[in-house]
Structure 1
Amino acid sequence: MSSPAPPQPASTRLASIDAYRGLVMFLMMAEVLHFAGVAAAVPGNPLWEFLGYHQSHVAWVGCSLHDLIQPSFSFLVGVSLPFSLASRNAHGQSRRRLFLHALWRAAVLVALGIFLRSIGKPGTNYTFEDTLTQIGLGYPFLFLLGLRPQRDRWFAVAVLLVATWVAFVLYPLPGSSFNLADVGVSPDWPHLMDGLAAHWNKNTNLAWAFDRWFLNLFPRDEPFLFNGGGYATLNFVPTLATMTLGVIAGEVLRGPRSTRGKVGWLLAAGLLAMLAGWGLGELGICPVVKRIWTPSWVLFSGGWCFLFLGAAYGLIDGLGWKRWVFPLVVIGMNSIAAYLMSWLFEGFIGNALTRHVGAETFRALGDPYERLLHGAAVLLVLWLLLFWMYRRKLFLKI
């Protein structure tokens, strides 16, 4: 693992990136397994409680494995950018053409996000907190940072985090007469914070106030008052910092360090970032909240992303453990298709399985595990569809 490695050629595709992306998409698709439902049906079982917790989002402060899906997906968009730019530059594409493609990609991602969030709604649901819309809103700026040297990217991350922190702190806290119930928060909700951290409370912060204005500029059946989960459009600003950390990591992978040097750099960066984010939360300077993408969340989740990528690169591309992650690579090489399938086909496949196989088949282990077995069957069908596309080299790209 210590042999010197030249910069990666423009055409090189790292299996570790595809496998990591595949793991992220698998965790999202695996929601059909309903671990939390099994845990509720089998109370007191520590295994199912553990799995149920890590397949659910935390209420506000903190992190579960499920909370790392969106930052990982965003981070990997950044990781791929240096490789994409190198490939396109090798084919002689001008910067103007590259930037126009970045704008097109951003527009498609935003449109796709809105389309998916509108499924089952009476009309277009103009909302911008979806993973795809968040990436799309920040992607043109990410592209421009991809053209800059590493020091400029580090500087951009610092500016984005500090500016976001200052903006939230300067936004005034609600007065004593403010009715939390009007914004979907119970006054005795156990996750309310006080002191400096209160500037990041659910639906009383700067991002919520922005959406009360911004989202009501679009046609709606009813005025927008709050997001039930606390998610916000302005999350795309610190999400851009997460994606920029990915660009930095991607440039490291393309760089001249040895394999061991790259792994060591990624693991060290991951530990430092994760500890910095955790420390900011513990000191009360900035809570670690995924739902509004606080600066400390950028560092904490970004640290995990560095660690995952470093481990994946060392094991898969360094030690050559590629055969073991092939099922994940199948998903990761068609991540957009996997994302769309989970939204568009999951229900159809589930209903078809029940209709043709019979509900009793999925009760073979008892009623508590019916949804688990049904979900596993859906997940298998989705993977087989992706494998069919992989075998025929059908890859959905934007």
Structure 2
Amino acid sequence: FLRSTGRPLTYFTFEDTLTQIGLGYGFLFLLGWYSLRTQWIALAVVLVGYWLAFVLYPAPPVGFDTTTVGVAADWPHWLSGFAGHWNKNTNLAARFDLWFLNLFRREKPFAYNGGGYLTLSFIPTLGTMILGLIGGGVLRSDRSHRDKVRWFVMAGLIGLASGWLIGALGLCPVVKRIWTPSWVLFSGGWCFLLLAGFYAVLDWQGWRKWAFPLLVIGMNSIAAYCIAELFRGAIGETLKTHLGQNTFKLLGEAYEPLLLGAGVLLVSWLILFWMYRRKIFLRI
């Protein structure tokens, strides 16, 4: 729905963040009824199975014309060797999209995603969600504050190290855009470390007042997402209209996106704050 705004036809796309979460949420819900051991096994099956599927699909040959899949010939991120199985728009999931997305009515036939995003990325994204499920179980447990923080720190360090090592050994590149299994581990490690920090400060020590701006956004995360998707451009243009077209270039053009983004974020936060004060929260 959000991706179809301003288009003559419904734009069927499934690589969007919310869509990816939605595709995996049913499986995650079912896993929530099973034991922690089963959840860890499910995580391993998802990551190893997805990795193996990519490995078994042939990588593009040497000398492949990358421009046929929307990749510039001099693109610096083109992968070689074993990592080539995950190359942009030539991997297994890209081939799936070439078939799947053309089953829907479109303005023109689908050939490739310009950003390299993939529908099947919801599978490793499910791995990230399983990590969240496991982490949530730790938070809800009767462990002491110290034990919870220790668990998240250890899990975070293991995730960071394993994700980085798998990428460094050339077994699976760490690529956020297509949510590779190594990225699941690497990013999951960072998430656990950040969660350890926030939990220690907010729940263990009780220092909460400073986090109020984050609370306003977190309490209305769906509204925040919709504002960003539907009104980000309009808010930015409105700010330029009323504050001046060159206002956000005060530090030079290189910093214009940063300053403009900060302005858009402030306006969005004020909208969310207004909703928070009136207890208006979007729920699913």
Same fold flag (TM > 0.5) = yes
Give 2:44's aligned residue.
158
Q: Which runs of 5+ in 2 are unaligned?
A: none
Q: Take 1:272 and 1:381, find their aligned partners in 2: how far apart are those partners?
A: 39
1:45-92 CA deviation, whole Å, 9 max, x = no partner? xxxxxxxxxxxxxxxxxxxxxxxxxxxxxxxxxxxxxxxxxxxxxxxx
Whichever residue aligns with residue 247 of structure 2, its letter is F
Residue range with higher mean Cα deviation, 378-387 or 132-141: 378-387
TM-score for both structures, normalised by structure 2:
0.94
Give 2:30's aligned residue.
144
Give 1:317's aligned residue.
203
SS at match of 2:189: helix
Give 1:217's aligned residue.
103
Whichever residue aligns with residue 89 of structure 2, its letter is N
Choose from 213, 219, 244 the match for 1:359.
244
Q: Does 1:293 align with 2:179?
A: yes
Give 2:67's aligned residue.
181
| Residue 366 of structure 1, CA deviation | 5.7
Choose from 111, 115, 126 the match for 1:229.
115
Q: Structure 1 residues 289, 394: closer, same or farther in 2, change over 3 A?
A: same
Q: Take 1:336 and 1:318, find their aligned partners in 2: how far apart are those partners?
A: 28
| Residue 175 of structure 1, CA deviation | 3.7
| Residue 379 of structure 1, CA deviation | 2.1
SS at match of 1:155: helix
Aligned 8 A contact 1:150 1:248 in 2: yes
State the identity as a percent. Answer: 62
Q: Take 1:367 and 1:298, find their aligned partners in 2: how far apart are those partners?
A: 36
How many residue pairs were aligned?
Answer: 283
| Residue 362 of structure 1, CA deviation | 2.3
| Residue 374 of structure 1, CA deviation | 4.3
SS at match of 1:285: coil
Whichever residue aligns with residue 71 of structure 2, its letter is V
Give 2:192's aligned residue.
306
| Residue 220 of structure 1, CA deviation | 1.1
Whichever residue aligns with residue 189 of structure 1, its letter is W
| Residue 360 of structure 1, CA deviation | 6.1
**Mapping 1:47-58, distance limit 5 Å:** none
Aligned 8 A contact 1:330 1:387 in 2: yes
Choose from 170, 190, 198 the match for 1:284.
170
Q: Structure 1 residues 254, 343: closer, same or farther in 2, change over 3 A?
A: same
Q: Which runs of 5+ in 1 are unaligned?
A: 1-114
Q: Take 2:252 and 2:160, find their aligned partners in 1: how far apart are those partners?
A: 41
Residue range with higher mean Cα deviation, 183-192 or 211-220: 183-192
Aligned 8 A contact 1:239 1:298 in 2: yes
1:336-392 CA deviation, whole Å, 9 max, x = no partner? 00000112222333333344x341682694664665544433322211111111111
Choose from 389, 393, 396 the match for 2:275.
389
| Residue 223 of structure 1, CA deviation | 1.2
| Residue 259 of structure 1, CA deviation | 0.4
Q: Take 1:130 and 1:267, find their aligned partners in 2: how far apart are those partners?
A: 30
Give 1:109's aligned residue.
none
Whichever residue aligns with residue 200 of structure 1, its letter is W
Aligned 8 A contact 1:138 1:236 in 2: yes
Q: Does 1:332 align with 2:204?
A: no
| Residue 313 of structure 1, CA deviation | 0.6
Q: Structure 1 residues 325, 162: closer, same or farther in 2, change over 3 A?
A: same
Aligned 8 A contact 2:60 2:84 in 1: no
RMSD, matched Cα: 1.8
Query: Which structure exhibits the higher relative contact order, with contacts defined as CA atoms closer than 8 Å and separated by 6 or more residues?
Result: 1
Q: Take 2:79 and 2:251, find their aligned partners in 1: how far apart are those partners?
A: 42
Give 2:124's aligned residue.
238
Aligned 8 A contact 1:207 1:292 in 2: no
SS at match of 1:186: coil
Choose from 344, 348, 355 the match for 2:234.
348
